[in-house]
Each structure stands twice: as C-alpha cells, then as structure tokens.
Amino acid sequence: MSKGTFLSLQHSESVIANMAAEIFAAYVQRGEVSDANENEYIKKATHIAIKMANYADTLCKSDGEWMVEKSTGAASLL
C-alpha cells in the first residue's frame, strides 16, 4: 500500500483551493483542459482565485479586522 499525500491547509488556503477547484472545473466543462495543458490551467485557476480573494478582502472587512476602543466604543479598521 502506498503512502498518500497529506496536507495541512489554513482556512484561507482551503477557501482559495476550493475557489480554484470551481474555476478549474469550469475550464474542464468547457473542454479547454487536456493532459498537455492541465498544469497551466491549475495555475491559471489558482491565480484567479487569489485575485478574487484579494479583491474581496479590500471590499469586505470581517469582525477580526476591526479594532474597538474600549473606553469610547469607537471602531476602526486595523
């Protein structure tokens, strides 16, 4: 029995990997992916997913990205 590959991804990495898989699947469905260009499309899908995640991060701020001044209750972005 061969040993498998095990990964330990952070949450943001797993989100990007999932996004990239969805994008890659669209290329496969369109018939654009072949054995010869598969790695190229994996890279392309991953770069697009990272670009989308970065763009979303500039527009949206999660709870952990806000700093609240305890004395005044005023909130500001970190």
For residue range 6-65, what is the model confidence (pLDDT) as tens digits? 989 999 999 999 999 999 999 999 999 999 999 999 999 999 999 999 999 888 877 666
Q: Which distant-in-sequence residues (6+ apart) come within 8 Å of 49 by Cβ?
A: 16, 17, 19, 20, 23
| Domain-embedded: residue 4 | no
Is residue 64 a part of any domain in this protein? yes
Q: Could you list the beta-strand ranges (E) of 1-78.
A: 66-68, 75-77
Q: Are 37 and 30 contacting, i.e. CB atoms less than 8 angstroms apart?
A: no
The answer to whether position 69 is within a domain reads yes
Residue 3 is assigned to a structural domain of this protein: no
> What pTM, to 2 d.p., does this model score?
0.74
Q: Which domain holds residue 26?
A: 11-77
Domain count, the chain: 1
Assigned domain for 2 exists = no
In a domain, 6, yes or no: no
